[in-house]
Amino acid sequence: MNRVVVTALAAITPLGNDLESSWANLLAGKSGIAKLTSFDASGYDTQIAGEVKGFDPTKYVSVKAARRMEKFSQYAVAASKMLMESAAWQIPPEEAHRSGVIIGVGLGGLESIENQHKKLMESGPGRISPFFIPTIIANMAAGMVSIELGARGANICTTTACASGTHAVGSAFSEIKLGRNDVMICGGAESTITPLAFAGFNASKALSTRNDDPERASRPFDRDRDGFVMGEGCGLLLLESLDHAKARGATILAEVVGFGASGDAYHMTAPPEDGSGAAIAMQKALEEARVEPSQVDHINAHGTSTHLNDLCETRAIKSVFGKQAGNIAICGNKGQMGHLLGAAGGVEAVFSVMALATGILPGTVNQITPDPECDLDYGAGGARKQEAAFALSNSFGFGGTNACMLFKRYDG
- How confident is the prediction for the chain on average, in pLDDT? 97
Tens digit of each residue's pLDDT (9 = 90 or more) over 132-143: 999 999 999 999
| Short-list 389, 386, 260, 353, CA closest to 7 | 353
In 260-338, where does DSSP find H-type helix? 276-289, 307-321, 334-337
Q: Is 244 a catalytic residue?
A: no
pLDDT above 90 (res 260)? yes
Q: Distance between CA atoms of 331 and 11, rounded to whole angstroms? A: 18
Supply the pLDDT for residue 243.
Answer: 98
Which residues on adjacent β-strands are paired with residue 258? 406
Nearest alpha-carbon partner for 345 in 252, 274, 261, 283: 261
Residue 412 has pLDDT above 90, yes or no: no
Mean pLDDT (whole number) for 182-206: 97
Reduced to 3 states (helix: H, G, I; strand: E, B; else coil), residue 62 is coil
Share of the chain above pLDDT 70, in %: 100
**Among the options 302, 312, 331, 404, which is catalytic?**
302
pTM as predicted: 0.97
pLDDT surpassing 90 at residue 326: yes
167 assigned to active site? no
The whole-number average pLDDT for the span 226-238 is 98
What's the confidence (pLDDT) of residue 261?
Answer: 98
DSSP category for residue 69: S
Q: Over the stretch 350-378, which tens digit does the pLDDT of each residue have?
A: 999 999 999 999 999 999 999 999 999 99
Q: Could you give the angle at which helices 164-177 and 344-358 cross, rounded to 10 degrees?
A: 60
Residue 321, pLDDT above cutoff 90: yes
Among 162, 186, 374, 404, the active-site one is 162
Q: Which amino acid is at 51?
A: E
331 labelled catalytic: no
What is the C-alpha separation between 267 and 282, in angstroms, rounded?
Answer: 20
Catalytic-role residue among 244, 339, 374, 404: 339
Is residue 238 predicted with pLDDT exceeding 90?
Answer: yes
Closest CA to 26 of 385, 394, 383, 392: 383
- C-alpha distances out from residue 329 to 87, 217, 317, 363, 371, Å: 29, 23, 12, 8, 17
- Assign 110 to helix, strand or coil: helix
Residue 188 above 90 pLDDT? yes
E-strand stretches of 338-389:
360-361, 384-385
